[in-house]
Amino acid sequence: MAGLFGDGAVRSAREIGADGGVLSDEDLFPVLPALRDLLPHGALQRGSVVSASGWNLLCLALAAGPVLAGAWCTIAGIPEFGVAAAADAGVDPARLLLVPDLGPNWPQVVASLLDGCELVVLRPPDRPAAHLRRKLEAAVRRYRAVLLVAGDWEGSQVRLRIAEQEWAGIGAGHGRLRARLAQVVADGRGGWSRSRGRWLWLPGPDGAIASADDDAAPMAGWPGLPRAGTG
């Protein structure tokens, strides 16, 4: 596991949580090294809701660390989910539960999933009423799970989005997409209210998800990196 996450994936020292309580290693799920600077404590905190801007590789990257650490993960409300793409991102298919269609009573279904899985990746079929959202957040805390929302969630502790992206591989109108540089911006509640951004390879030329901050500065002049707009 140390080889997958690098040194210090989850700090051994106790830390202070968003609610002022003391956190231990058991309160945190490790994440891939490239994502640590974007999350409080450099990890996903049990009992929290994290939102990402839609269903994309960023969601898979966030899920990869907990699954590699042994967590069970449900992919809910995403019928186009690709198992091969998940495996490429480091998500073990053997630890996945797929629920493509949540049905009209989806908040109750998600609450049941939180009871059985430590991580639920959810794309809500519609915007939940405030009282249903609060019930789901209470279930997340009660079961000490993480709810990763592929979309907007008003009560999320941390919000991540792809603010800008550039693809490598297309030359003068031809070629293959080989890699994507993405600027991921994170903000949230409490001490995480100030936005912070990092450039990531999502994915890199070798297919890996990695930090690209050292590579991003000269990217405007790189051949094969046309600006692709916001994500």
pTM over cut 0.85: no
Whole-number Å distance between alpha carbons of 199 and 214? 8
Q: Which residue is it, tokens 């630890």?
A: 95
Question: Which pLDDT value is given to residue 67?
Answer: 95
* Count of all residues that appear for the chain in the document: 231
- The topology under which CATH files domain 2-150 is Rossmann fold (3.40.50)
First to last CA, the chain: 32
Question: Which pLDDT value is given to residue 63?
Answer: 95
Whole-number Å distance between alpha carbons of 20 and 182? 32
**Widest CA span in the chain:** 55
Question: Which pLDDT value is given to residue 168?
Answer: 73
Question: Which pLDDT value is given to residue 167?
Answer: 79
Q: Which residue is it, tokens 């994440």?
A: 31
Per-residue pLDDT tens, the chain, 231 aa: give them. Answer: 334 444 444 343 344 444 445 567 789 999 999 999 999 999 999 999 999 988 989 999 999 999 999 999 999 999 999 998 888 888 899 999 999 999 999 999 999 999 999 999 999 999 999 999 999 999 999 999 999 999 999 989 999 999 998 877 665 555 556 788 899 999 988 777 788 899 999 888 888 889 987 655 444 444 344 343 333
61-to-14, 19, 68, 181, 229 alpha-carbon distances in Å = 25, 26, 11, 14, 21
Q: What DSSP letter does each residue of the chain carry, written as one string?
A: -HHHH-TTSS-SS-EE-TTS-EE-GGGEEE--GGGGGGSGGGEEETTEEEEESSSSHHHHHHHHHHHHTT--EEEES-TT--HHHHHHTT--GGGEEEE----TTHHHHHHHHHHH-SEEEE--SSPPPHHHHHHHHHHHHHTT-EEEEES--TT-SEEEEEEEEEEEEE-SS-EEEEEEEEEEEEEESGGG-S-EEEEEETT-TTS--EE-HHHHTTGGG-TT--B----
Residue span(s) of the chain under CATH 3.40.50.300 come to 2-150
Question: Which pLDDT value is given to residue 179?
Answer: 81
Give per-residue pLDDT as tens, 147-164. Answer: 999 999 998 999 999 999
Whole-number Å distance between alpha carbons of 63 and 47? 15
Question: Which pLDDT value is given to residue 19?
Answer: 47
Whole-number Å distance between alpha carbons of 132 and 49? 14
Which residues have a Cβ under 8 Å from the Cβ of 107 and sit 6 or more positions away? Answer: 128, 132, 135, 136
Question: Which pLDDT value is given to residue 24?
Answer: 72
Question: Which pLDDT value is given to residue 171?
Answer: 56
Question: Which pLDDT value is given to residue 172?
Answer: 52
